[in-house]
Each structure stands twice: as C-alpha cells, then as structure tokens.
C-alpha cells in the first residue's frame, strides 16, 4: 500500500472526481481569469503526483519560489472548497436547510419580516421531518429575534408558544448531546483498547457507563436520541463481549431506519454502520440464516444510488461489505473461495488509501491473513500479518497482540522452529505489557515449546489433543473467550489432529448445523 500523505491540500485534490476537477477549472476561469495562473499550475502539478513532495513540486513549477508555496497552497485549498460549494446536492437535506436559513436572513435584513416568518415555519417543518434539531433551533432563535424586536401582529400567545418550544427543544438537545458523548467515548475506548481484558476493565467500563447514562435515557424520543442510545449500548455490549446485548441494540439500530426509510438517505453513514454492527453480532453468535439475510440486505443497498453518492459513503460501503463478505466465508468454512475477494480489496485499498484510516486497513489485513491461514497458506498469512506488526500505530492493542499470535502459529506451520523461541519470548513480553496475556496464550506457548521435543506424528497428535482439551475449558470464561474471537484455535487444533486444514473442519461443522 502506498504511503499516506499528510498534506491536506494533496488529500483534498486527490479526492476530487473528474467532474469536480472540470468544475474547478471553469470556476477559476470565471472568478479569477488569468490573474492567478499559478493556482492552475499548482493544481495541475499536484494532480499528476502520486505522492506529495515539496521538492518535486518546485522542480515541476520553475517559476514558483519556495517562500511563495505555503500561501499559494492555502489559496488553492480555499478555491477548491469554493468550487465544490457551487456543485449543490439538491437531495441533501442539510444543504437545503442551510440554504433556506440564508434566504431567511436575507429577507430579514431587507425588513421583510412576515416573509421571513413564513419561510421559518417551512424550515421548522422540514427540520422536524428529518430530525435536524440544530436547524430547528436556529429557526426558533431567529423567530424569537423577529418577534421580540419588531411588530409582526402575530396572533394569540405567540411569545409563550415560542418559549415553550425552545425549552422542549433545549431539553431534547441536552439529552441527545449526553447520549452522543457517551456513545463516542465508549467507541473511543474500544478503538484504543479493544474488548475488556480483565475484571478491572469490566468494572471500569460498567462504572463509566452507569455514571454517564442520562436519567430517563430509555424513554428518549426522537430519531437521534434513540440512535445514540442504541449506539451506546452496542459499544457497551461489544466491549464487555455481551453479544446478546450487542445484537439486541444493533437490531434496534437498523430497525430505526426501517421505521423511517427517508432517514437512510439523510444519515447514510449511520445506516451503514448499523448494518455492519448487526452483521458482526450475527457472526459472533453464529446466527447463520440471519447473517445471510442481513448480508443480502447490505448487498442490495450497496447497489443503490445512495451507496454511491460520494467518496465517504463509497469507502464505508467498501470497508464494511468487505468485512461482512469475509466473515461469511469464515462462517461457512469457504476460506479458499473467500481469497477471490482479495485482489479487489487490495485494489480498493490502493484507490482509497488517502481516505481510509489505518485502523480499518489493519482490520482488513487481519481478515485477509486469516483467510489465507484457514485455506492452509501460512506463507501468505505471514506476509499480511507483517503489514500489521510493522505498522507504527497506537490503535487496537488487542489486534496487534493477536496478529502476533497468529504470526507465531503460522511460523510453526511453516516449520520455522529456529524462530519460534525468539518469537514466543517477544510475544509473551508484548502481550504482558498490553495486558492481554491470558491462560489460552500461556498454554499455547507451553505447547509450542514442548513440541520441539516431539519426534513422532502420533506423539504430536496426542499433544494437540491434550492442548485442545485444556483450551476448551476456557471457551466459556469471559476473560479468556476473547482469544477465540480473534483466532479459531479449536478448529486449528482439530485440523491438526485430523490431518487436514481449518476450512474443512469449519465447513463440516457449518453443514451439520445447516442440515440440522
């Protein structure tokens, strides 16, 4: 994957589509003419670059002096944003409301108060329909200003009605704000740490959740209030590995959009994330039929115009649909078939490399490594895991740990016994430092060390059987079960005992449950 550029102008320019680039050229001609030819030169030069480099840029534009570059880049950044603003998305509700608010202020400044009030009523109705409380609040503030400063001859108790409406909305905004804060903070905890690692983590998360869940949260009304409530419970259940709780609120999340289909177009990223969480919940609980039905729903949505409206949406669909498709192969034991997805995923990662955060990239690499491992290709497994291990990031310490564990097992599969002792010691220290070292990992380390001394196939199979018996005791332990989420170690042991590959073990299990 290409190196990510941190230059903001380069990232913005590279995100432009062909139509947006043409619009920029027309915008510059119309608004700047030939007065600022260097802006166009800078745009063209950066557009041709694969990676941003100041020195290469100055060599391309010989008339440009180094001291001029920062100001010229800042100007180009502003002009690109200004040109994009002219490409209005008439279907975007927020754009519509923003535009209507601007019209209202124009009318107010012209002294046309009745026309302003009439338009404000339409804005409030549209804001209520699409749950855009901030625009609703803006409309109320301007409406109060007009009523308090000017004689509008409004009928009845308008002042009391407006005051009551503002009070109700303020209470709702406060509750929604608290719920969104809770959801965001829990999500941040997961991104940085992963699942609860021990009793200390569990107690900390439970105390955090209980102390910050607003009173009356369960009775919250309104689309966004319920959305943030369901999100908060999703992250809470996921961190604690309470997958029934996670599933229950992920389903509520998706049902929220099913009840108000028009919100799918307005808040598409939230809908996509809801589908992702519901699919992940089905995957964790091995809900085979429900997983397939939800994946079909996601696939159908991915073919709609809403799923292709902009880069942000396209990237989100790609990431979460790729994860879901791979998880589907994990469930069915069709790892070799799943490897057909990898070339397209690699191509998309390259195409979107400036837009995809490192966390998502690491998750996809781990998924691909697991596909190769399940298909019996330990060499490719190591290649993809190295991409995770060699990344200098401070995200998902749990993923970093289990990538190293799978990396260790893959080297065992390859017979690289001269590396194992060093890898075991290194991984032991790493997992202990990250507080993810449990009895499952300790037992695996003990087995691998002893395996060096086993000289016959029968003794090795016997050792695998003993290890399987030991690890099965930990599957129901809430602080050890995390290990089985990242690596289906029991299926690997069964494949070693039977003399096959992991995907054969999982496929037989899937077929038995499906037929039953």
On whether residue 443 sits in a domain, the answer given is yes
Q: Are residues 417 and 349 in the same domain?
A: no
What tokens were used for 457?
A: 């196939």
Check whether residue 250 and residue 340 sit in a common domain.
yes
The pLDDT of 97-116, averaged and rounded, is 89
Q: Please compute the mean of the pLDDT values over residues 215-242 and round it to a whole number.
A: 92
Highest averaged pLDDT of the listed ranges 77-81, 378-382, 480-484: 378-382
Is residue 514 a part of any domain in this protein? yes
Quick check: 374 pLDDT over 60? yes
pLDDT for residue 161:
79
The pLDDT of residue 514: 72
Q: How far is CA 255 from the centre of its chain?
A: 20
pLDDT at position 96 is 87
Other residues' Cβ atoms within 10 Å of the Cβ of residue 212: 15
Whether residue 506 sits in one domain with residue 488: yes
Res 116 pLDDT > 80: yes
119-129 per-position pLDDT tens digit: 999 999 999 88
Residues 58 and 126 in one domain: no
Neighbours of 367 (CB within 10 A): 21
Choosing from 85, 110, 142, the residue where a domain stops is 85
What pLDDT score was predicted for residue 3? 44
Read off the pLDDT of residues 322-363 as tens digits, 9 standing for 90 and up: 999 999 999 999 999 999 999 999 999 998 888 888 888 999
Last residue of a domain, one of 85, 105, 139: 85
Range in 244-258, 295-309, 457-471 with the lowest mean pLDDT:
457-471
Q: Please tell me whether residues 402 and 516 are part of one structural domain.
A: yes
The answer as to whether 200 is a domain residue is no
Q: Are 75 and 106 contained in the same domain?
A: no
Q: Are residues 510 and 405 in the same domain?
A: yes
Tokens of 383: 């290649």
What distance in Å separates the CA atoms of residue 395 and residue 363, rounded to the nearest whole number?
11
CB-based contact 503:374 (threshold 8 Å): yes
pLDDT for 160 equals 74
Could you say which of 23, 53, 85 is where a domain stops? 85
Buried b / exposed e along 71-104 (16+ C-beta atoms within 10 A):
ebbeebeebbeebbeeeeeeeebeebbeebbeeb
Question: pLDDT tens across 417-448, in order?
Answer: 888 888 888 888 887 777 777 788 888 888 88
User: Between 393 and 208, where is the model more confident?
Assistant: 208
Same domain (yes/no): 303, 410: no
Per the structure, the complete domain to which residue 495 belongs is given by 398-516
Residue 387 lies in a domain: no
DSSP string, 365-397: HHHHHHHHHHTT-HHHHHHHHHHHHT----S-H
- Answer whether residue 1 shows pLDDT above 50: no
pLDDT at 401: 83
343 and 290 co-located in one domain: yes
For residue 379, being part of any structural domain is answered with no
Number of domains in the chain: 4
Model confidence, pTM: 0.82
Average predicted confidence (pLDDT) for the chain: 87
| Same-domain status, 74 and 108 | no
Does 129 share its domain with 44?
Answer: no
Are the C-beta atoms of residues 130 and 262 closer than 8 Å to each other?
yes
- Residue 104: is its pLDDT beyond 80? yes
Q: Residue 230 falls within a domain, yes or no? A: no
pLDDT tier for residue 34 given thresholds of 50, 70 and 90 = low
Looking at residue 385, its pLDDT comes to 94
Q: Taking phi first (over 0 means left), then psi (-120 to 50 degrees means alpha), and beta for anything else, what does residue 362 get?
A: alpha
**Residue 143 pLDDT:** 87
319 is a domain residue: yes
Could you tell me if 25 and 71 lie in one domain? yes
In a domain, 122, yes or no: yes
Contacts of 402 by beta carbon, 8 Å cutoff, 6+ apart: 366, 436, 483, 486, 487
pLDDT number for residue 64 = 84
pLDDT for residue 90: 62
Distance CA 163, CA 482 (A): 52
Bigger pLDDT: 381 vs 61: 381
Looking at the predicted structure, is the pLDDT value of residue 12 above 70?
yes
């Amino acid at each position: 994957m290409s190196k990510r550029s941190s230059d903001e102008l380069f990232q913005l320019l590279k995100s432009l589509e062909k139509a947006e680039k043409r619009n920029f050229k027309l915008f510059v001609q119309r608004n700047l003419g030939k007065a600022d030819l260097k802006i166009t030169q800078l745009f063209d030069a950066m557009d041709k670059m694969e990676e941003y480099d100041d020195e290469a840029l100055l060599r391309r534009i010989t008339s440009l002096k180094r001291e001029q570059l920062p100001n010229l880049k800042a100007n180009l950044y502003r002009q690109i944003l200004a040109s994009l603003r002219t490409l209005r998305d008439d279907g975007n509700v927020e754009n519509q409301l923003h535009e209507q608010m601007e019209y209202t202020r124009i009318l107010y400044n012209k002294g046309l108060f009745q026309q302003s009030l009439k338009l404000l009523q339409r804005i409030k109705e549209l804001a209520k329909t699409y749950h855009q409380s901030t625009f609703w609040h803006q409309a109320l503030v301007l409406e109060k200003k007009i009523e308090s400063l000017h004689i509008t001859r409004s009928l009845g108790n308008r002042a009391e009605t407006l005051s009551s409406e503002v009070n109700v909305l303020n209470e709702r905004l406060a509750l929604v704000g608290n719920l969104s804060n809770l959801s965001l903070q829990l999500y941040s905890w997961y991104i940085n740490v992963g699942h609860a690692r021990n009793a200390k983590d569990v107690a900390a998360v439970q105390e955090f959740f209980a102390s910050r869940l607003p009173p009356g949260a369960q009775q919250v009304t309104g689309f966004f209030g319920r959305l943030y409530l369901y999100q908060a419970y999703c992250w809470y259940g996921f961190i604690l590995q309470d997958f029934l709780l996670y599933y229950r609120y992920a389903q509520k999340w998706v049902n929220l959009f099913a009840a108000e289909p028009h919100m799918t177009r307005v808040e598409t990223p939230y809908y996509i994330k809801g589908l992702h969480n519901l699919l992940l919940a089905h995957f964790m609980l091995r809900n085979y039929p429900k997983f397939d039905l939800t994946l079909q729903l996601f696939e159908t949505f991915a073919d709609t115009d809403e799923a292709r409206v902009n880069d942000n949406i396209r990237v989100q669909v790609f990431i979460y649909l790729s994860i879901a498709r791979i998880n589907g192969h994990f469930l069915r034991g069709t790892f070799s078939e799943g490897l057909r997805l990898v070339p397209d995923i690699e191509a998309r990662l390259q195409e979107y490399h400036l837009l995809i955060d490192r966390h998502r990239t690491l998750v996809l690499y781990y998924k691909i490594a697991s596909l190769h491992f399940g298909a019996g290709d330990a060499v490719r497994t190591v290649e993809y895991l190295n991409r995770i291990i060699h990344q200098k990031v401070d995200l998902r310490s749990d993923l970093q740990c289990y990538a190293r564990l799978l990396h260790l097992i893959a080297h065992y599969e390859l017979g690289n016994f001269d590396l194992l002792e060093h890898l075991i010691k290194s991984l032991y220290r790493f997992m202990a430092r990250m507080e993810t070292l449990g009895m499952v990992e300790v037992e695996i380390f003990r087995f691998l060390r002893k395996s060096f001394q086993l000289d016959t196939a029968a003794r090795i199979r016997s050792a695998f059987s003993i290890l399987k018996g030991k690890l099965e005791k930990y599957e129901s332990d809430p602080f050890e079960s995390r290990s089985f989420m990242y690596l289906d170690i029991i299926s690997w042991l069964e494949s070693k005992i039977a003399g096959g590959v992991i995907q054969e073990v999982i496929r037989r299990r899937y077929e038995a449950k499906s037929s039953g």
